[in-house]
């Protein structure tokens, strides 16, 4: 069963993805110096997404809470896999 920290990290990652999406949308309307400023916002939002995603996957790997086990890996049975949620079909072969 996922722990509370895992849930908080998922919410933080979702927020980062939403911020990245909004920043990227702004690129379509920005011109001149405003475009450069918007681009910097997009890059910061992208970096935050990357960092939050890595933190989430690391927590899942180390804590094993999202797979029903513990940090030592006992009682590992499949329940929720962050990688599948984050990557969707990208994490599957044969697609």
The string of pLDDT tens digits covering residues 6-52 is 999 999 999 999 999 999 998 888 889 989 999 999 999 999 999 99
Per the model's pLDDT, the better-predicted residue between 82 and 8 turns out to be 8
Question: The pTM is what?
Answer: 0.67
Number of separate domains in the chain: 1
What is the span of the domain harbouring residue 9?
4-91
Angle at 18 between CA 31 and CA 82, to 5 degrees: 140
Contact (Cβ atoms closer than 8 angstroms) between residue 20 and residue 48: yes
Contact (Cβ atoms closer than 8 angstroms) between residue 13 and residue 56: yes
């Amino acid at each position: 069963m996922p722990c509370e920290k895992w849930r908080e990290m998922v919410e933080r990652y979702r927020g980062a993805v939403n911020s990245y999406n909004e920043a990227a949308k702004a690129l379509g309307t920005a011109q001149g110096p405003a475009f450069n400023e918007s681009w910097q916002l997009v890059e910061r939002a992208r970096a935050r997404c990357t960092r939050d995603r890595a933190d989430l996957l690391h927590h899942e790997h180390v804590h094993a809470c999202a797979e029903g086990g513990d940090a030592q890996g006992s009682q590992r049975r499949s329940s929720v896999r962050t990688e599948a949620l984050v990557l969707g079909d990208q994490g599957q072969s044969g697609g």
